Amino acid sequence: MRICLFPGTFDPITLGHTDVINRGLDLFDRLVVGIGVNSNKTPMFALEERIAWIKEIYKDDPRVEVASYSGLTIDFCKQLGARFILRGIRYVSDFEYEKAIADVNRTIAPGIETIFLTTVPQYSSIASTLVRDIHRYGGDVAPFLPEVVMEGIRRIKQ
């Protein structure tokens, strides 16, 4: 079975993320969306909210699972029995950063491969950081987010 980890903070999950997940499902039998918890970061949206959003988006696809983890992503990969890490690449700068991490991961765990998928042009400018900034200042983030996430944000505002 080809098990893949798609790691990130997903704060919040964007249409760019879901595009990478959806295309990754053509490559893997099981795809675990791993929400990394970093004690040095304060997310805008609660971990439970982010998990719930992803579960709702993929409720009809048993190949997608959601889990949170702390520590090294490569260790979580081993824990899952995943042989692949999936990463989305928007720009050359993303590739340089991600390749450095992939090289370190390959040194630590030679049996785990990092797979890069380039984003489709319509999503290449979407980043969770940008979405959070737009949201923080009252802008419309609907063009960048799945409807489930928008519904959750509307509930939070009330």
Are 33 and 51 within 8 A, CB to CB?
no
125: annotated active-site residue: no
Q: Give the C-alpha separation, 94 to 38, whole Å.
A: 20
Q: What is the largest CA-CA distance in the chain?
A: 49
- Active-site entry in 17, 50, 87, 135: 17
- Active-site entry in 41, 93, 155, 157: 41
135: annotated active-site residue: no
Beta carbons within 10 angstroms of residue 127's beta carbon: 15
17: annotated active-site residue: yes
Phi, psi of 5 (to 5 degrees): -105, 130
- Active-site entry in 23, 78, 90, 132: 90
Write out the two tokens for 105: 């991961």
41: annotated active-site residue: yes
Give Cα 26 distance to the centre of its chain: 17
Active site residues: 17, 41, 90, 128
